[in-house]
A = this chain, B = another copy of it.
Amino acid sequence: MTITHDRLDATFAALADPTRRAIVARLARGDATVNELAEPFAMTLPGISKHLKVLERCGLISRTRQAQFRPCHLEAGGLDSAVSWIEENRRIWSERFDKLDEHLRDIQTATASTKGRARR
């Protein structure tokens, strides 16, 4: 993986805040300006801007430089590294249990065949 620890730190930290998650969820539905994003929250524009800067720094959103409008755009690819990290560790974890299941089945088969021979 080429993703640095810093990038994963920043992405997970960005997602650890409910307002930032709500902004990501809003932008998943379509681009929006800072004013549009601020509307549903009881927050000042500078407050929302601070959250946008956090999301922008970790590459989760981008902003065009169109004068005062500057619509925010979700860079959904920014979520890839976070999902990859989680999925990779869930895969390793579940493979461990698959192996344990396999091992238990082998033991059961061996026990059954030993019992079979003993009965004959």
Please report A residues at the B interface, Cβ cutoff 8 Å: 5, 8-10, 12-13, 15-18, 21, 24-25, 28-30, 74, 76, 79, 82-83, 85-87, 89-90, 92-94, 96
Contacts and interface: CB of A to CB of B under 8 A. Distances in A.
Contacts of A17: 9
**Which 10 pairs show the lowest CB-CB distances between chains A and B?**
A12-B16, A13-B16, A28-B93, A12-B15, A28-B92, A28-B89, A76-B93, A5-B18, A12-B12, A79-B86
15 contacts: A5-B18, A5-B21, A8-B21, A9-B17, A12-B12, A12-B16, A13-B16, A21-B85, A25-B92, A28-B89, A28-B93, A76-B94, A79-B86, A79-B89, A83-B83
